[in-house]
Amino acid sequence: MSGIKPCDKENVLATRSESFGPWGKAVKIRWIHVFLFALLSRDFQWIHLNPWKAKKGPYGGLIAHGGLTLAMLNRFVGKRLHQMFDASRIVDLGKDKIRNTCVVHVGRSLRLRYRVAAARVVDSEAFVDYELQVGFQADDGDVIVLECRAKLLYA
C-alpha cells in the first residue's frame, strides 16, 4: 500500500495486520559504528572496544552497545513507513516494552520486520502503532522486540 494520505481513513486503518511482514534488507554492525557510538555516549567499556580482552570475556568477542542497536532501528523503519504512508515526515512518539533478548556481536548483520498493530486518523493526522522484531540475518531468532508509536505528517 503506497501513497496513503491521512484523509483516506479506510486505507490508513487497513494497514493493520495480525502478522509480521517479510524480513527486510540486512545491515551489518561494524566496529566503526560501535566506536563512534562509544564517543557519543561516553561508554568506553572494554566489551565494546577492546577486541583482545573481549575475546576472553563472557561473550567471546566484541558486542554492540544496546543503545546502538536501538538507534539503528530508525534506519530500518523510516523508509518503510515513508513508503507505506507517503508521509513527508514521521515523528517518533516513543518506544514501549523494549526487550533485548541477546547480545549483538560486532560483524553480525541485523534485519527487521514489522507489523502495524493500530492505525487511526484524528483531525486529518495519522497515528500508527507498530511492533518491530529485529533479528540476525542467518536465523529468525529475535534480538530486539519493541512496540513503537509514530505520527505521520504531510506537507
pLDDT tens digits along 115-151: 889 988 887 778 889 888 888 866 656 677 778 888 8
Domain residue ranges in the chain: 9-29+65-153
Query: Is 114:20 a contact under the CB 8 Å cutoff?
Result: yes
Q: What is the DSSP string of 59-126?
A: TSS-B--HHHHHHTHHHHHHHHHHHHH--SEEEEEEEEEEEE-S--BTT-EEEEEEEEEEEEEETTEE
Average pLDDT of every residue of the chain: 83
Whether the pTM exceeds 0.95: the reply is no
pLDDT category of residue 1 using cuts at 50, 70 and 90 = very low
**pLDDT value, residue 35:** 97
pLDDT at residue number 147: 82
9-29+65-153: CATH class: alpha beta
